[in-house]
Amino acid sequence: MNIYSTIKPLILGSGSPRRKDLLQSVGLKFVTKPATCEEPAPMPNQDPEEYASQMALVKAENVAAANPGNYILGSDTIVVRDQDILGKPKDCIEAYEMLKSLCGRTHKVISGCAFISPDGEKLSYTVATDVEFIDFNETIIKAYANCGEPDDKAGAYAIQGKGAFLVKGISGSYTNVVGLPLARVIETLVQWDVVVPGDG
């Protein structure tokens, strides 16, 4: 028996396998169509939550324009150290430096979520989780930076993968750090009558 069932056409506007897996884990049926638009870099001194919300909406609007008649979910997840937005490392050296800067302290993972209905109604918001890292250990941080996992991850780590060893503790949604605040997203989809509890 499914935990939730999808009763209206839903598109996940993301190519992230982690977001796909999270939604499928509770029984949702949907189509995956990644956004094809450019992702502009944040403006100088732009609020990270504003940026994450903006990016999620840009992606959702891009997918909605090409897929009328569907409900669209767009999302963007960023890692923030102080007020600095950390993107994906360009190589293992940058991954190492990024991870080194996060060790022994707490950073934020912020996901922007955007929803668009077939009639054009829009909703967007952000969910933030505090993540505390272990203290710096050069040998193990270099080993992780070179293992390949950080290459396509914002902040250069995956909490659901080998990078779990870095995490001393979190405050907030775990799935948000993975890439999608599942509880809040499901709550919204239920409110919009896109999904229902059980087998429908």
Find the helix or strand (DSSP H, E) in which 106 lies. strand 106-116
Among the listed residues 151, 142, 42, the one whose alpha carbon sits nearest the alpha carbon of residue 90: 151
Domains, the chain: 4-197 (3.90.950.10)
Residues tagged active-site: 76
Question: Looking at residue 165, what is its pLDDT?
Answer: 97
pLDDT in tens, 46-99: 999 999 999 999 999 999 999 999 999 999 999 999 999 998 999 999 999 999
Question: Looking at residue 39, what is its pLDDT?
Answer: 85
Mean pLDDT of 154-172: 97
Q: For residues 37, 71, 53 and 56, what is the CA-based torsion angle, rounded to 10 degrees?
A: -30
pLDDT at 18 over 70: yes
Question: Looking at residue 200, what is its pLDDT?
Answer: 58
pLDDT in tens, 28-55: 999 999 999 988 889 888 999 999 999 9
